[in-house]
Structure 1
């Protein structure tokens, strides 16, 4: 836990320093919620897959958890919640613009097979679409990550409540997320706040919750 209070505020998606901080949090929670620093030859690629697309597509559905209150200059985040209201539209837009840019940028960079970087490159080259039976009922989805010092004390719940309220205000009927089967703490948290399993795979689950 941090020693000071943490506040939820909109992410500053147009601030390169804040985007870099969100990318850093993404990397430091990328090993099923644990720190993945040192595991990737291209560490920024983690954020390019799991954070950057959300900030580019739906900056108005991005929030961070940071020390301090509304007064004064913004403090660096220690957690984030990044959402999209329409997953199918999001995936189409990424295929039109985001993924092609990453493919072109990294086309001539070698990658070792059977490595975390290879998995990310495969995701960029052929991103798996979300099943339509899920997006029909739970069209929104999100990524949320908190650094260890932000975990506990109701911080995750406050961050999620802010985002869920915003999705409900847009009339979104349901929300889903993917989570590693190894991240048992996250699965327990989401189940506790009302999510249930929609798709149960050997390495990951998709959980969903109706909003109406």
Structure 2
């Protein structure tokens, strides 16, 4: 049985671990990184730390095995990250010259200079999400349930739209998002930006 529930502070390690072990287009990225927290620093943990009310977890008998995280205000969240999240990490990773893999260094570069979502996308789809599930939860409707619950909260808050960035190589993930109501908006490098309009 899978239960959906809100975030607790002691769930932060699970966010980090799931983010890493699904971080290669849904597959385990552990072998790519010498620092297992780097992926989570970017895509999962800041939401638990800065906007925990927008984190929803899927838990089974073995523990937390999936999440959806996000924010209703992408620009505001980015400003909070600049103030409250990135500075300590930039100090921690100030010297990335030794002991890191190529994938580590790519993540460290993103911490030092975060990617920017195209402004037109944020204007029309101001909320954004990230979602990951361990393989044991896939194919059971858990992702759909997490997404529907998050979207319902966004609708209740009168958000006009939600966007996400999908890895262009993750065809399965892109297909899921399209089935779930997201439309491709723009491809930039290896990212396919997708959006779901919520305004009536």
State the TM-score bracket (shorter-chain normalisation): over 0.9
60, 63, 66: which one pairs with 1:79?
Answer: 66
Q: CA RMSD in A?
A: 1.5
Q: Is the contact made by 2:74 and 2:122 (CA closer than 8 Å) also made in structure 1?
A: yes
Deviation, structure 1 residue 164:
0.6
154, 169, 180: which one pairs with 1:182?
Answer: 169
Q: Give distance in 1, aligned partners of 2:18 and 2:66.
A: 7
Q: Give distance in 1, aligned partners of 2:115 and 2:174.
A: 22
Alignment of 1:99-178 (within 5 A): 99-111=86-98, 115-178=102-165
Deviation, structure 1 residue 201:
2.7
Q: Give distance in 1, aligned partners of 2:98 and 2:192.
A: 27
DSSP 3-state at the match of 1:33: coil
Consecutive unaligned residues of structure 2, counting only runs of 5 or more, are: none
Q: Does 1:40 align with 2:30?
A: no
Higher helix share: 2
Q: Give distance in 2, aligned partners of 1:67 and 1:52.
A: 21
Q: Is the contact made by 1:111 and 1:118 (CA closer than 8 Å) also made in structure 2?
A: no
Post-superposition CA distance 1:67-102 (Å, at most 9, x none):
16xxxxxx6211000010000011111112211110
Post-superposition CA distance 1:150-190 (Å, at most 9, x none):
00121110010111101111111100000101111110011
* TM-score normalized with structure 1 length: 0.89
User: Which residue of structure 1 lines up, in the alignment, with residue 182 of structure 2?
Assistant: 195
DSSP 3-state at the match of 1:38: helix
Deviation, structure 1 residue 46:
1.2
Post-superposition CA distance 1:90-119 (Å, at most 9, x none):
111111221111011121353468710111
Q: Is the contact made by 1:111 and 1:117 (CA closer than 8 Å) also made in structure 2?
A: no
Q: Give distance in 2, aligned partners of 1:34 and 1:27.
A: 9
Q: Is the contact made by 2:74 and 2:126 (CA closer than 8 Å) also made in structure 1?
A: yes
Deviation, structure 1 residue 192:
0.8
Across the two proteins, how many residue pairs are aligned to each other? 199
Q: Is the contact made by 2:160 and 2:198 (CA closer than 8 Å) also made in structure 1?
A: yes
Deviation, structure 1 residue 54:
1.0
Q: Give distance in 1, aligned partners of 2:75 and 2:90.
A: 21
Q: Does 1:55 align with 2:48?
A: yes
* TM-score normalized with structure 2 length: 0.94
Stretch deviating more after TM superposition (116-125 or 101-110):
101-110
Post-superposition CA distance 1:17-57 (Å, at most 9, x none):
x2111110000000011111121011111111111111122
